[in-house]
Amino acid sequence: MSRRTPLAGWLVSEAVCLTGTRVSMVAVPWLVLTSTGSATWTGLAAFAEMTPYVVAKAAAGPVLDRVGARTVSVLADATSVVVVAAVPLLHLAGRLPLPLLLVLVALAGLVRGPGDGAKQAMVPALVEHAQVPMERATGLGGAVERLASTVGAAVGGGLVAVVGPGPALVVDAASFGVSALVLATTTSGLRHERPTVPADLAPEGTGYLRRLREGWDFLRRDRVLVAIVTMVAVTNLLDQAYAAVLVPVWARQSGGGAGAVGLLFATFAGAAVLGSVLAASFAARLPRFATYLLAFLVCGAPRFVVLAVHSPLWAVLGVAVVGGFAAGLINPILAAVIFERIPAPLVGRVSSLNTALCWVGIPFGGLVGGVLVGAAGLAPALLLVGGAYLLATLLPAVRPRFRQLGTAPAPRAGALAR
């Protein structure tokens, strides 16, 4: 087996799992909307999934470090097969009342959170095993994520249109099964290496809460990680307002309809794939701070302004191409910085907390967008959210701690034991 087989298997597993998840992101809201006719219930279903997802991802860190990220990922994907498959089976049998659907959606988020966190926590071990630069692995992971998002959304929309939302969720359930199988077989040679534990960290057998607290204490003391989490949490919230409310309202008011929404998102995601591929090839040679700052400025506020000033569709798509390409450069750089700063014994705890905190505002993004449009109208809402995005993306230019993006901290005890 090649040294790069585990990394390749991880990428395939991510592609399959993320594609299925994006199918469910189309199918579940449509199932709720067609069953109830209520946008409120549709939003509640999204909240019911994302809230336990974020909480479970944050809480799973100590388990990842003790049991092993690979084991948790495979078990989470296998469990997700059962939970997700229950939705279409009960729906087809006519035994899926709305409260039960919300419970199943919440369970799906509860299981998927640790699974996604575990996959990300595997990255340092995969990079070390494959002997490739961190930016290459994170760049390829970013490209896979963007491509799977594009394909999954298209497949989900097509399946929902042809067979309905219930049967479409069978694809999501199957994707978790394939993901578990691929990951289990291709990473079998990636043993769960036990990191040596520094004297200032909790020894084996220490309670869960103390181990979780150690992850939190490390994260809050690292000024670079705190700066990244704060900025990304804000931009993620604003991105959700853009995607969930502002773009659909723009499409309806401009006469472009759902086709314009799909075309805009597909254009942005396709360009982001190219940016991530470039990051995989050259990010190790790019200046991290300058690239990070410029990419965020380019992919942020211009997307909102071009919609607010009633630009023609070709101009909107042109901005999406440039912004999407820039966005593709961001996550590979961020992931490399984050993993470089976390000592091996804390990778699961700190990376899970980090990503959970970055996502904490997403459940509320649609609410913010809806309130602003209702109170001020579409154009003012776009300019307000775009202005907030600009302020957030200017933080690296005025906060000295962001300039440490290009430097890794001195290694602490806790390298993987051989």
For 356, the token pair is: 């959970």
Predicted pLDDT of residue 302: 95
State whether 279 and 342 are in the same domain: yes
Q: Is the pLDDT of residue 417 over 50?
A: no
* Cβ 87 vs Cβ 96: under 8 Å: yes
Question: What average pLDDT does the segment 392-412 reach?
Answer: 69
* Cβ 406 vs Cβ 340: under 8 Å: no
Q: Count CB atoms within 10 A of the CB of residue 78.
A: 17
State whether 253 and 121 are in the same domain: no
Q: Angle between the 39-59 and 362-376 helix axes, to the nearest 10 degrees?
A: 150
Q: Is the pLDDT of residue 202 over 70?
A: no
Q: Which of 291, 263, 255 is nearest to 276 (CA)?
A: 291
28-81: pLDDT as tens digits: 877 876 777 765 676 677 778 888 888 898 888 888 888 888 999 999 999 999
Range of the domain at 57: 1-135+148-194
With a CB cutoff of 8 Å and minimum separation 6, the contacts of 95 are none
Q: Is 204 a member of any domain? A: no
State whether 243 and 389 are in the same domain: yes
State whether 169 and 312 are in the same domain: no
Which residue has better confidence, 47 or 104? 104
CATH number at residue 322: 1.20.1250.20
pLDDT band at 284 (very low <50, low <70, confident <90, very high): low
Q: Is 140 a member of any domain? A: no
Residue 181 DSSP SS3:
helix
The b-or-e profile of 233-252 (16+ CB within 10 A means b, else e) is: bbbbbbbbbbbbbbbbbbbe
| CA distance linking residue 107 with residue 169, whole number of Å | 15
Partners of 416 in the β-ladder: 195
pLDDT band at 412 (very low <50, low <70, confident <90, very high): very low
> Is the torsion defined by CA of 200, 203, 207, 208 positive or negative?
positive
Predicted pLDDT of residue 314: 92
Predicted pLDDT of residue 128: 85
State whether 13 and 162 are in the same domain: yes
Which residue has better confidence, 164 or 317? 317
pLDDT band at 301 (very low <50, low <70, confident <90, very high): very high
State whether 97 and 238 are in the same domain: no
Predicted pLDDT of residue 191: 59
State whether 322 and 266 are in the same domain: yes
Q: Write the DSSP symbol of residue 202.
A: P
Alpha helix stretches (DSSP H) within 242-361: 247-254, 257-282, 288-299, 301-308, 313-341, 347-359
Q: Is 271 a member of any domain? A: yes
Q: Is 141 a member of any domain? A: no
138-166: pLDDT as tens digits: 878 888 887 887 787 777 777 877 888 88
Q: Is the pLDDT of residue 199 over 60?
A: no
pTM, two decimals, is: 0.75
Q: Best-predicted range by mean pLDDT among 47-61, 121-135, 255-269, 316-330?
A: 316-330
Question: What average pLDDT does the segment 175-202 reach?
Answer: 73
Q: Is the pLDDT of residue 279 over 80?
A: no
Q: Write the DSSP symbol of residue 410.
A: P
State whether 127 and 78 are in the same domain: yes
Considering the chain, what percentage of its residues have pLDDT values greater than 70? 89
For 112, the token pair is: 């998927």
Q: Which of 344, 356, 334, 290 is nearest to 139 (CA)?
A: 334
Q: What's the chain's average pLDDT?
A: 82
State whether 114 and 216 are in the same domain: no
State whether 176 and 239 are in the same domain: no
State whether 321 and 172 are in the same domain: no
Question: Virtual CA dihedral for 313, 319, 321, 327, nearest 10 degrees?
Answer: -140
Q: Is the pLDDT of residue 408 over 70?
A: no
* Cβ 143 vs Cβ 280: under 8 Å: yes
Q: Phi/psi at 98 (nearest 5 deg)? A: -60, -45
Phi-psi region of 38 (alpha: psi -120 to 50; beta: other; left: phi over 0): beta
Counting the structural domains of the chain, the total is: 2
Q: Is the pLDDT of residue 303 over 90?
A: yes
Q: Poorest-confidence range of 206-215, 276-285, 334-343, 393-402? A: 276-285
State whether 184 and 215 are in the same domain: no
For 173, the token pair is: 């359930």
Q: Is 63 a member of any domain? A: yes
Residue 157 DSSP SS3:
helix
Task: Using the structure block, give the residue that is written with the tokens 């705890």.
Answer: 349
For 37, the token pair is: 């006719």
**Last-in-domain residue among 162, 194, 226:** 194
